[in-house]
Chain A
């Protein structure tokens, strides 16, 4: 069989019949035109059955478990850096604020900073690297929903922040003599602030045109969370206070800060956490869309 024949057989109808392979090709092309187009499930007998899709929850848990194991294997040392950084900031700030609302802002800001560092910054870097190196192809050639990959990775990175955030909050409370009694609220603050920030991080990583840009966006987001979250809001200029209101981590910081009161305003705490949840839903939806877009080029 000559090369030109095999290449042309499909293009030129008159060339049909020169080779067995070409004939078969034309028969199937003819069938394709005659058969009505069935959108998802092809008519029985015409096409081979498709293997099942991976279901959302089992695949989400598989991705989550695989991502969690990366922390053990890669020993992501930055998890420790995140905690040391936050504790260091609190030690420094002890010379500036003493007790009162300032201390609450510093402790809750430093605690949520751990979440911003890991969920936003590191996740943006991870997805940026995965996209740049072609690693997304692995997931894109498996019958798994984009939401399972994005939510599994975001959930794992949010989980990475649990020990660091808890340690920071407890150490900070001890440093500034704040009550530990309502720290259980971290059980809501970490997942909700984690969802919002991990969603942003994933979206940054998947939308950035280049890997370096993803890293830059992650770093900038974390710096914003650091400056706008740790510094007490009362001392900031008005323009910066607006910026602070736009940052999703702010609501996690405020929710945690309110619970250091003897009698916290639980409805305000709930409202802050609802904002985190809403941002989380939107940013994770954007990240899922971005994943879909990045996976098929």
Chain B
């Protein structure tokens, strides 16, 4: 049975180009955009595989092509032995998908949203209700089951949408920023539910995120996307190994940086500035010298806070040449 081989999802040379739009009445036109520009990936069975990148990197376009919502211009998508470019309608029978929009469910109660989605995933009524009850209990949603989604807070609504993605089991889950707006309790419920399915049924998860902390803690492997290309693909630890020789120094100034101090002026050339905050990636001895310079002498009076840390995936992204700002640390 070759579907038991470990590659669940194989993507090869996926290309999707959005055509140039003509400008109208004052608004400038947009040039042609390659949203996915030759992406190749292999996702293994039972893996939590992440797509990390800032907004506009092509994550959602890639996911839409994997779930049969969008036809690529070129390339192939193979999920569990099925060619999804040729047969996009099979995607819904292999993949449970959580998109970013909930408008189709907003006016339904949590309970009816989960039940209806289960029935539309092909479950008989009785089974849809049983799975609905089990999933709502598992995620701690039983108390708000009778409330309509649009009356819930953003995080609760997101959790309810996540619940609908679990009713009607699928071997592959594609989750597009599932934890947006959630509090820590809800996030834990999501990752516990994902882990349980992976341990019990070997479920494979493809996760879209722009949150580097989440990527580091929950992902087995991660592909870093930048302008429609995969610029790196490895385990979070393996990726961080690439910048292991560096230390991340964050400086926060009280009002403004004391540029009259020569050491500080020199640091400015290598710092990433955002307001009062400077972020520097330095070799360990450089970092020591920098900390000594700002914590002693004239500069210290202007310093509000500083931290030294080992690099995060954000540093990897920047070291690999990522230019956009838009990764979130939360």
Contact = CB atoms under 8 A, between A and B. Distances in A.
Interface stretch (B111-119, B208-216, B259-267): B111-119
Contacts of A295: 69
Nearest to A74: B107
Nearest to A21: B42
- Chain B interface SS verdict (over half): mixed
Nearest to A144: B120
Contact of B230 (A6, A21, A53, A296): A6
A138 B113 CA distance: 11
B87 to A, nearest CB: 8
Contacts of B91: 141
A54 interface: yes
Interface in B59-85: 67-71, 78, 80-83
A50 B94 contact: yes
B3 A24 contact: no
A148 B116 CA distance: 13
Interface string A194-220: 000000000000000000000000000
A10 B5 contact: no
B23 to A, nearest CB: 17
A62 B42 CA distance: 36
Contacts, number: 177
Given A133-B101, A134-B99, A47 B232 contact: no
Interface string A19-55: 0011011001101100000000010011110111111
Given A11-B38, A141-B97, A142-B121, A51 B170 contact: yes
A82 interface: no
B3 A47 contact: yes
Interface stretch (B7-15, B25-33, B250-258, B306-314): B7-15
A29 B7 CA distance: 12
A159 interface: no
A168 B1 CA distance: 64
Nearest to B82: A47
B41 to A, nearest CB: 8
A118 interface: no
B68 A65 contact: no
Interface in B29-57: 38-42, 44
Nearest to A140: B69
B174 to A, nearest CB: 9
Contacts of A54: 119-122
Interface residues of A, number: 56
B152 to A, nearest CB: 12
B7 A296 contact: no
Interface string B284-320: 0000000000000000000000000000000000001
B6 interface: yes
A73 B115 CA distance: 16
A1 interface: yes
A238 B188 CA distance: 70
Contacts of A48: 3, 80-82, 94, 171
B101 A137 contact: yes
Contacts of B248: none
B122 A143 contact: yes
Contacts of B89: 143
A66 B112 contact: yes
A28 B5 contact: yes
Nearest to A129: B103
Contacts of B183: none
A58 B3 contact: no
Interface of B: 1-3, 5-7, 10, 12-13, 38-42, 44, 67-71, 78, 80-83, 88-95, 97, 99-105, 107-109, 112-113, 115-117, 119-122, 124-125, 148, 168, 170-171, 224, 229-234, 238, 320
Interface of A: 1-3, 6-11, 21-22, 24-25, 28-29, 31-32, 42, 45-48, 50-55, 58-59, 62-63, 65-66, 69-70, 73-74, 129-130, 133-144, 148, 295-297
9 tightest A-B contacts by CB? A47-B81, A135-B103, A48-B80, A10-B40, A138-B104, A135-B104, A48-B3, A62-B119, A50-B93
